[in-house]
Structure formats: C-alpha cells, structure tokens
Amino acid sequence: MFTLTVAPRFGDIDGLRHVNNTVIPEWFEMGRNPIFRIFTPDLDLTPEKWRLIMARTEFDFLGEMYFDGDVEIRTYIARLGNSSFTIGHEAWQRGELKAKGKAVIVHYDFMEKKSLPIPPEIRTKLEEHLIEEQ
C-alpha cells in the first residue's frame, strides 16, 4: 500500500465548509503515481513509453472532510488481471474513512491501439501492493 498525506487548501473547500467532492478524484490521481512509476519509472508520457489507459473510475463519499486536518490517501492494488488491474483508494481524516474509490487501468499499447498482458516483472511488483477486497 502507498500513502500520501494531503493538506486541504482553502480553494478545496465548498460553501458548506467541506472538502469539495471534485477534489477527491484529484487526490486519488496523485496517489496513483507510485503505481504508474512501476510501469514507467520516469513518468514519460510519450506514446512509445506510456503503457496505461484508464477504463473506469468510481467514488463513494462516506463522510465530510474539512479544511483543518490533513487527509491520508491510501492506494493499493485491489484486483490484478491479465492486462488490467483495479486500484483501490481511500481518504482518511482524523482516523476515519471519509471516501473510497476504484480505478480500472489497462496495460495498453497506444501505437497498436490494443491491450497488452502485464509483464511478469511488473506483475510481481504490483502483487506486493495487492489487498483483495472482500
């Protein structure tokens, strides 16, 4: 599992003084970077080197988050298939789970426009962060 601590910014807060729901996907996206580095260590986004494409995202908001406390973003592998995998995300504030989500990512060849099997050496690294959901 990877963790990232985020300090909410003033601009992240909505009129009800909560972290706005549009901010959570951005925080979860930042939490995916260590997983992206497993595939592309330098995060080179050229089509010849970048091999990932997003197929789906979803979010559940479980409780309000506020400006006056850091948020811990937890990121892990929830499912590992042949050419795709699911990333699990959680946002915790003050010891409570406030939001969770998933992102389905496909190992993809942009030049050929097709999915690719996840190479064994990358699969091994992803398995180190596998927390299968019940």
Return the pLDDT at 99. 97
Residue 48 is predicted with a pLDDT of 84
pLDDT at 54 (0 to 100): 96
pTM for this model (two decimals)? 0.92
pLDDT digits (tens, 9 = 90+) for 21-79: 999 999 999 999 999 999 999 999 888 889 999 999 999 999 999 999 999 999 999 99
Tokens (6 digits) for 110? 């942009």
The full set of domains in the chain, from first to last, is 2-127 (3.10.129.10)
Q: Which two tokens stand for residue 8?
A: 């909410």
* For the chain, percent of residues with pLDDT exceeding 90: 92
CB-based contact 118:82 (threshold 8 Å): yes
DSSP run (H or E) holding 124: helix 120-127
Phi, psi of 15 (to 5 degrees): -65, -20
How far is the C-alpha of 27 from the C-alpha of 8, rounded, in Å?
10
